[in-house]
Amino acid sequence: MKAGLRIIFLVAAFAVSACGYGQTAQVASTFTNPIFSSGADPWITFKDSMYYYTSTSGGNLFICKGKNLDEIALSERKVVWTPPEGTSHSKQLWAPELHFINGEWYIYFAADDGENRNHRMYVIENNSSDPLEGVWEFKGKVSDPSDKWAIDGSVSQ
């Protein structure tokens, strides 16, 4: 190797080692959710100085709220909707998302009739200013003509 290339190579090697390239990153062995220790597919939204946390027990949808995220775990867990038995959306409620759109609250969620292959997206609506108040009304299935298996839907505003 020529002397000029050797110097460039040494400078580059020094720069790489000084930046820590090639070093093994330290990875935490565990992470504890600071809000709840368990719960699948939670969703948090912020409106009017309040955080709203929504999740599912698998059989119903619930919401908690707090002025700070660390208050949510200590707040009331209010079940806001339980589907009627024997419907296409009465089992395996998954991944609820709470959204405030055009002055109404909506929760989009996946559910089925007890057969996973029948999972589809659904929506409920509440016109109260506080999603823990008022009445949540089932609005229907969110679908297109293909009516294919669907979970984890979201909306953009």
> Would you tell me how many other CB atoms lie within 10 Å of the CB of residue 83?
19
Look at residue 38 in the predicted model and tell me its pLDDT.
65
Look at 40 and 58; give whichever has higher pLDDT: 58
Which backbone phi and psi does 25 adopt, to 5 degrees?
Answer: -75, 145
Own/partner long-range contacts of 63-68 (Cβ < 8 Å, ≥24 apart)? 63/98, 63/131, 63/132, 65/131, 65/132
4-34 pLDDT per residue, tens: 434 333 333 333 333 444 455 566 677 666 6
Instruction: Tell me how far the alpha carbon of residue 23 is from its chain's centroid.
Output: 33
Q: Please state the rounded mean pLDDT for residues 128-140.
A: 97
Q: Please state the rounded mean pLDDT for residues 111-131.
A: 97
79's tokens: 């079940």
Alpha-carbon distances, residue 94 vs 11, 25, 109 (angstroms): 54, 34, 6
Least confident of 1-5, 43-47, 65-69, 97-101: 1-5
Query: How many residues make up the chain in this entry?
Result: 157
Domains, the chain, ordered by start: 27-142 (2.115.10.20)
Look at residue 143 in the predicted model and tell me its pLDDT.
92
Instruction: Say how far apart CA 92 and CA 115 lie, in whole Å.
Output: 9
